[in-house]
A and B are shown apart, each in its own frame.
Chain A
Amino acid sequence: MITLKELTNKEDLFVSGHGLCPGCGIPVILKLVLRATEYPIVISNATGCLQVASTEFPATSWKLNWIHSSLGNAASTISGIETMYRVLKKQGKLQTDTEIKFLAIVGDGGTNDIGLSSLSGAIERGHDFVYLCYDNQSYANSGGQRSSASPIGTSTSTTPTGKVLPGKLQYKKDITKIIAAHKLPYVAQTAPWNWEDLYTKAKKAFDIEGPAYLNVLNPCPKEWKIPSNKSIELTRIAADTCVWPLYEIEAGKNININYKPENKLPVTEWLKRQNRFKHLLNVENRWIVDEIQNVIDQNWKCLLKQEKRGINN
């Protein structure tokens, strides 16, 4: 296993000067993912916080080839690029001898909502690429609206809490399982508190041939309404409460759970630290918290069962 020191000695391909918020999880996630392959990477980045904050013309934070087209098409854009790469290889016209890796980076809105068809299609076609979803559970760059990845009860700018409504009324999509249903070579869910887990999964995703999907919890001080110095440790609480389990699915079959909390915490530990959920702790919303806890427990049980028996049994 690589050490942190070895990791820090690797060249940074995403450099500072960008405009991401203090405490934002994206740079931490990126620094680990971009170090997880020795090969050059070409990136297709969807519209969102990362794209806007890292490429304000004429500056750029990227020391590699990077393209942005629109919000819902990062996967189909990388499909075209990866296809052309294969064509050039076949024609013997590739300018370089080294292998190139392809990476799509998209937020939860671009993944769960507007780009789902583009992502699903690219996986179904079997392009050799890694898809990284950074899930901040919000349309963050457009001002913090609800996405289908926002958890039930979240107060967002389009599901505000009010005298009669308690925030978002629907459950979050289980996008990792939705993608896993494509039975692609590799799917993983991870979070930046566990750098080893994140790095190892990114490395596996790059190394495996064919499509790989990484769903990474991206703490967002701005939309989660948390202090910027608490963001990374909060993702650990997400794992300890089983709100965000760390697991991987290989070839659509075997599930490995990569972290099992010794002492599973109640969901209130996760909720109470974030002002986007503050209202849920009021007595009249007790039923929502109970339901959330219920669903988390069921999902966790299901995951443990699937680990034992394989996802398809």
Chain B
Amino acid sequence: MEVIDGNFAIAEAIKQIGPDVVISYPQIPSILILESIASFIANGEMDSEFLNVDSDYSAMSACIGVAASGGRVFTATASQGLALMHETLFIASSLRLPIVMGITNRALAAPINFNADHSDSMAQRDSGWIQIFSENSQEAYDNIIQAFKIAENKDVRTPVMVGIDSTFAFNLHENVNVQTNDEILEFENKPDSNYSILDIENPKTVGSFCTPDYFFEHKINQNKGIESSRKVIKDVGREFGDRFNRYYGYFETYKLEDAEFAVILMSSAAGTAKKAVDEMRKKGEKVGLLKLRVFRPFPYKELGESLSNLKSIAVLDRVLTPGTYGGPLFIETMAALYSLEKRPLVYPYIYGLGGRDITLKHIEDIFDDIKKGFNNEKGNFEIKYINLRE
């Protein structure tokens, strides 16, 4: 057990995994992960190659170069940095490169802001990456370790981004169970790479120009990777649990079995939401929580099954997607429920933009709100904003 913050937890996981190359470009607060790794290397505690590059765009480009050469590579970013990588994220996933990236989820400018929300990752939700979100430092550590195994699986070969809310990442120290190096190495067990641009005996053209004759098939083939990850994410989560006694799936349910009302959200706000559920349960309220861990691939079937018997649910998005009728989590949840015969009423909420607090009281109010019900007319949604100044 170590008392560390989320950044250090991720750095610790990377030290144990020991990727061939770590690529670095400064971004607050993800750079703290990379600084820790740099000092591990400077002190001889790990011997990965550390490459300081000229931009976030170059960082992902260099990751592509390493991974296309059969190497294991890690980088970390957030916010503006992730936005600048946008073009290359699609290239990484299309070339089926198992890159792993830590994201300290942070708001996107303007105005510029250093605090937590999910705008950065959510803006990349169609980039073809697997997206996993962590509630706290322990989960960030565990998710990074699982991420390599998921990404490198031969049926998957798809990059993974692991998010942790920036608040947690850089100033909240918590107890984290850190496994031994041997345990991690045994768990990881890297398979051979897909292809290597350094394999000079077998020349390859990677990243061709493609006409309408083949493009569609390429994209559908690529999609098979992330579709295959559905099973692999489950298997890896189970194996991780069997070994280290911390089990992972697509989502975590909390007191949901007999619940009538539930809150759905991701990442650090789950801690507060669990406390709110406990408080309300004490008063005899049938409330529960579903914390989504894997946003891409989105677990439609499983999520729908877990929610279909509820009376009503509040979906809490930590991102504003202008011009829509709710955040991405709300819209995906609606889609997951639509084809079910029995389904709850669903209410869209948006909270926590740019690091705005969400408290126990706010979540209790949400439960009261959805119990009463509001705006039940079909097709008419009113987004509620939590803790927004009037």
| Max chain B C-beta neighbours (<10 A), residue from A65, A87, A88, A98 | A65
| Max chain B C-beta neighbours (<10 A), residue from A51, A64, A66, A86 | A66
CB pair A69–B91 under 8 Å, yes or no, is: yes
CB pair B65–A76 under 8 Å, yes or no, is: yes
Residues A65 and B197 in contact in the complex (CB < 8 Å), given A70-B91, A76-B54, A76-B58: yes
CB pair A69–B61 under 8 Å, yes or no, is: yes
A-B contact count (CB 8 A): 163
- How far apart are B155's CB and chain A's nearest CB, in angstroms? 23
B10-25, CB under 8 A of A: which get 1 and which 0? 0000000000110100
Residues of B within 8 A of A120 (CB): 54
A94 contacts the other chain (CB 8 A):
yes
B205 contacts the other chain (CB 8 A):
yes
8 A Cβ contacts from A102-128 to B:
117-118, 120-121, 124-125
B51 contacts the other chain (CB 8 A):
yes
Residues A72 and B57 in contact in the complex (CB < 8 Å), given A65-B204, A87-B20: yes
CB pair A76–B207 under 8 Å, yes or no, is: no
Selected contact of A83 from candidates B51, B57, B59, CB within 8 Å: B51
CB pair B55–A118 under 8 Å, yes or no, is: yes
- How far apart are A117's CB and chain B's nearest CB, in angstroms? 5
Residues of A within 8 A of B377 (CB): none
Residues A121 and B70 in contact in the complex (CB < 8 Å), given A66-B205, A80-B23, A84-B20: no
Residues A100 and B200 in contact in the complex (CB < 8 Å), given A57-B214, A73-B58, A117-B55: yes
A163 contacts the other chain (CB 8 A):
no
B71 contacts the other chain (CB 8 A):
yes
| Max chain A C-beta neighbours (<10 A), residue from B66, B199, B214 | B66
CB pair A118–B58 under 8 Å, yes or no, is: yes
A44 contacts the other chain (CB 8 A):
yes
Minimal Cβ-Cβ distance residue in A for B195: A65
User: In which size bucket is the chain B interface?
Assistant: 35 or more
- How far apart are A57's CB and chain B's nearest CB, in angstroms? 4
Residues A57 and B61 in contact in the complex (CB < 8 Å), given A87-B21, A125-B51: no
| Max chain A C-beta neighbours (<10 A), residue from B53, B206, B208 | B208
Q: How far is the CA of A85 from the CA of B70 in the complex (A)?
A: 10
A5 contacts the other chain (CB 8 A):
no
8 A Cβ contacts from B91-105 to A:
91, 95
Residues A121 and B53 in contact in the complex (CB < 8 Å), given A73-B88, A79-B65, A100-B198: yes
CB pair B69–A66 under 8 Å, yes or no, is: no
A142 contacts the other chain (CB 8 A):
no
B210 contacts the other chain (CB 8 A):
yes
Q: How far is the CA of A95 from the CA of B208 in the complex (A)?
A: 25
Minimal Cβ-Cβ distance residue in A for B92: A69
8 A Cβ contacts from B258-278 to A:
none
B201-213, CB under 8 A of A: which get 1 and which 0? 1011111111100
B52 contacts the other chain (CB 8 A):
yes
8 A Cβ contacts from B62-113 to A:
62-71, 73, 87-88, 91, 95
Q: How far is the CA of A80 from the CA of B75 in the complex (A)?
A: 12
- How far apart are B243's CB and chain A's nearest CB, in angstroms? 27
CB pair A86–B49 under 8 Å, yes or no, is: yes
For this complex, 30 residue pairs linking A to B, each with C-beta atoms less than 8 Å apart, are: A42-B200, A51-B209, A57-B209, A57-B210, A57-B211, A58-B214, A64-B203, A65-B199, A65-B200, A66-B203, A68-B208, A69-B61, A69-B65, A72-B57, A73-B61, A76-B57, A76-B59, A79-B62, A79-B65, A80-B63, A80-B65, A80-B67, A80-B71, A82-B65, A84-B20, A84-B69, A87-B49, A88-B20, A96-B200, A118-B61
Interface residue ranges, B against A (CB under 8 Å): 20-21, 23, 49, 51-55, 57-59, 61-71, 73, 87-88, 91, 95, 196-201, 203-211, 214, 218
